[in-house]
Amino acid sequence: MVAKLQLRIRCAELKKMDVLSESDPLVQVLLRQRTPTFVEIGRTETLKDNANPDFQTVITVNHVFNELQELKFLVQDSDGRQMELIGEAEVTVGTLLTLPGHRFVGDLIDTAHKKRRGVIFVTATPFVTEWQLTYDINFRGEKLDKKDFLGKSDPYFCVFRKEEGVVDSHAWTKVYESEVVMNTLDPKWKTMTIADTALCGGKPDTPLRIEVYDWDRNSAPDLIGVTTTSLTALKGLVCVAGACLFTRTFFHAFLFVWLIGKICNQSPPSSNLHSRTTGRAQWV
């Protein structure tokens, strides 16, 4: 029996490999199965000058039950022309699926010098291939905080889900990052299209956290605001005066969310249109 897994990867405390800046990490994912050698099955994007990267690229693995499958993660510092190994970690697919929240936390080891060079976090999410419920979610902000001295803000947002059974500070996994909308306090972002398995592991009560940031070219992003919700909350809002208030968290700014659900791929159970909801989050 074969099932598909989606792997989401982030790292922390990566060793600085460049003289004048932080490393530019990417992760190569290798699999060994029925062969004596590892074969690359995918790699993440490269994130510039980042010692704590949270990669958006999702790596898909075909999990074969009752068969040994070994994963190796090579974290590289890439300058676009060549790569330098920061560190590596290994885990079997079977072990990964027995861990709380299906999340592996491992030290990145420089095998040549036997030194620790950071930490890697890998979260596996099983997903259904026959059919899946996909949501189109639209976000826009209003009256966001001004973070730039000479301009307004350059806002973008990230969506995180809470991993079941994980209670430490690393329990949130990023499932989406939007584009940056330049120089505005009232952004309207592109539609976020995401399967329910990727958004909340197919469990609509899973807590979701939305973080809005101001992007900066030469420094770390500034946090504008945070709000929490769930897919269940978004789908079950009670509308008042044309808008639905689902949470309040932070200072005179608003986040509006429109949600449409649809069945994609094969064998949809009845209707294509699952739900349509409008959400409004107030930061207080």
Q: Taking the CB of residue 219, how many other CB atoms lie within 10 A of it? A: 7
Residues in the chain: 284
- Give burial (CB, 10 Å; 0-12/13-18/19+) of 161: buried
The sign one gets for the Cα dihedral 224, 226, 232, 237 is: negative
Per-residue model confidence (pLDDT) at position 269: 36
d(CA 180, CA 141): 12
Q: How far apart are CA 161 and CA 140, in angstroms?
A: 20
Distance CA 40, CA 242 (A): 50
The number of beta carbons lying within 10 Å of the beta carbon of residue 144 is: 23
Flag residues of the chain having pLDDT under 70. Answer: 1-2, 128-132, 166-170, 236-256, 258-284
User: 38-82: per-residue pLDDT in tens?
Assistant: 999 999 999 999 999 999 999 999 988 888 999 999 999 998 789
